[in-house]
Amino acid sequence: MEKHTYDLLIIGTGLAGLRAATAATFTSKGKLRIALISKLYANRSHSVAAQGGTAAVLYPNEGDSYILHAWDTVKGSDFLADQDAVMVLVREAPKEIYFLEHWGMPWNRREDGRIDQRKFGGHSFPRATYAVDKTGLFEMKTLWGIIQKHDNIDVYHEHYVTNLIIENNRFKGVFAIDMKTGELKVFLGKAGILATGMGLRMYKFTTYSLSQTGDGGALALRAGLPLKDMEFVQFHPTGLVPSGILVTEGARGEGGHLKNNKGERFMKRYAPERMEIAPRDVVSRAEMSEIIEGRGFEGPEGLDYVHLDLTHLGADHINSKLPLVREVAIKFAGVDPIHEPIPVRPVAHYPMGGVRVSLYGETDIAGLWAAGEVAAVSVHGANRLGSNSTIECLVWGRITGELAAKYLMEKAQNGIVTVDSEAVKKEEKWVFDELIGRESGEDPYQIRRELREVMDKDFYVFRNGRDMEEGLRKIRELRERSMNMYVADKSSVYNLDLIYTLETYNMVQVAEVIALSALNRTESRGAHYRTDYPKRDDENWLKHTLVYMTKDGYEIRYEPVKILLWKPVERKY
């Protein structure tokens, strides 16, 4: 088995992973050997799909402030965000905007040349810094350009990480399949940063690309780490029907209107002050209420929808600020938003939960950090505000990169990392004998289809105990079946059948955590809305859910929310 040895391994090459690599390189002055490992061609990671903006306080003299950004975030989280983490986010955010600016990020500009910002849901000030409606793409390109300047960073494209190597509760490396050859490799490192994203491809109607299958969450679970607050799945209000492709919140931030089949701007009934730029959980529930009560439009395959109307903005405004929205609507829905409304409905978009980490991204495993979407530092709580995700990736990408570099330079620079030969044999047996070598078994494609149907049906915008109990039962059945999946393709080179099977294995594990966490939380808070428990219950549920994988199944524990400045109050918009 081929072995590669590095100082620092970064698993994942989205915004968090690339930012961590740049921070570790700058902190160590290029002295650390760093490996970036991606299941994709690295600069095609899902962060390129982020559209609308990146939140930061840039203009305090115009009325914005760190405290206001923090309050908006805490209130938007339905008071489940850890307020110490929120304060780190808002104070560090502007530095990241200017960091990218200095490296060539093409931010949109005001007429006076300063960086422009737009309105986003739940924010009381226009603080979404943007590059038309392709913000994530340009942020990725900017960071990728920095990576190319440093020869201490090696990038391993199309290497699928199967498991973390942990010995005596210390990070030692990862196993990964080189998709080009089919070879299983060992990457050894003195420290690691998990930055895989989480993804929600276990849902059928989702904004996520096909690659986002919960791998990082499953890797962490199998390594003994808990997943935190996974019941809180964000449904973005404007998923394009029927594909699920994201229509950025920037479309509403630029003045788009949501309308029902009577032509009404129905948000006046649900959020009379903020209207279309209320937080996403509020808008998604409003849309589904309109649809359930018969004021939606009939869509294909049960995907009834409402209209997102941009026609009043005019061609010049749409073409200059929302060119991708127009392109996607024309190509994938057959409507031109200059002339026609866009069909949209709530779509699975973002997990507020993830791997439990400290304020600065440390996991419970020595030498291992997690950053970005895969981590739950708890800035989002029960509901994320739009444009707070990309800035979280940048801020904690930098923090974890710097801390990992300092750890390596101060504590772990000397010594050789080795791996137990029995662990290598066990991984080889699992991949080559138990998966590829199996001659019959369950169809992973069928398991994935059934999983996605369950998640869309039982763990959507509105939930109830009876449906979730049945959904959890079905997911557990799928988990049992997934242990006997059959890989039909026995070849080595680009065996995507094998990768698909491994991804399905991960998806089922993470889906069970989502389902169990949701069923167990008997209240409604943020994106988790139960029709059988429609009220928020601070007395019993102002706490984080932690789920551990044990030999006897999943185990639930809890930890308190960190409250500094604001105690829970009723959310009104």
**Where along the chain do its domains lie?**
3-232+352-410, 237-346, 421-540
- Provide the token pair at 225: 């780490």
Whether the CB-CB separation of 281 and 234 falls below 8 Å is answered with yes
- Per this entry, what is the length of the chain? 573
Q: What is the pTM of this model?
A: 0.95
Residue 415: pLDDT over 90: no
Across residues 172-183, what is the average pLDDT?
A: 96
Rg (CA), the chain: 23
Residue 128: pLDDT over 80: yes
Q: What is the amino acid identity at position 65?
A: S
Looking at the chain, the whole-number percentage of residues with pLDDT higher than 70 is 99
Q: Whole-number mean pLDDT of the chain?
A: 96
Banded pLDDT at 413 (limits 50, 70, 90): low
Are domains 237-346 and 421-540 of this chain identical in fold? no
Round to whole Å and give the CA distance between 529 and 281.
9
Whether the CB-CB separation of 319 and 257 falls below 8 Å is answered with no
Q: What is the tens place of the pLDDT at every residue in 535-565?
A: 999 999 999 999 999 998 999 999 999 999 9
- Provide the token pair at 262: 């009577």
Q: What is the amino acid identity at position 507?
A: M
Domain 3-232+352-410 in CATH 3.50.50.60: yes
Residue of 159, 201, 252, 544 marked catalytic? 252
Residue of 4, 236, 398, 463 marked catalytic? 236
Angstrom distances, CA of residue 331 to CA of 243, 324, 325, 344, 397: 11, 10, 10, 15, 34
For the domain made up of 237-346, give the CATH fold: Flavocytochrome C3; Chain A, domain 1 (3.90.700)
Q: What is the tens place of the pLDDT at every residue in 432-474?
A: 999 999 999 999 999 999 999 999 999 999 999 999 999 999 9
Banded pLDDT at 421 (limits 50, 70, 90): confident
For the domain made up of 421-540, give the CATH fold: Methane Monooxygenase Hydroxylase; Chain G, domain 1 (1.20.58)
Q: Catalytic site residue 236? A: yes
The torsion angle over the Cα atoms of residues 510, 516, 520 and 522, rounded to 10 degrees, is 70
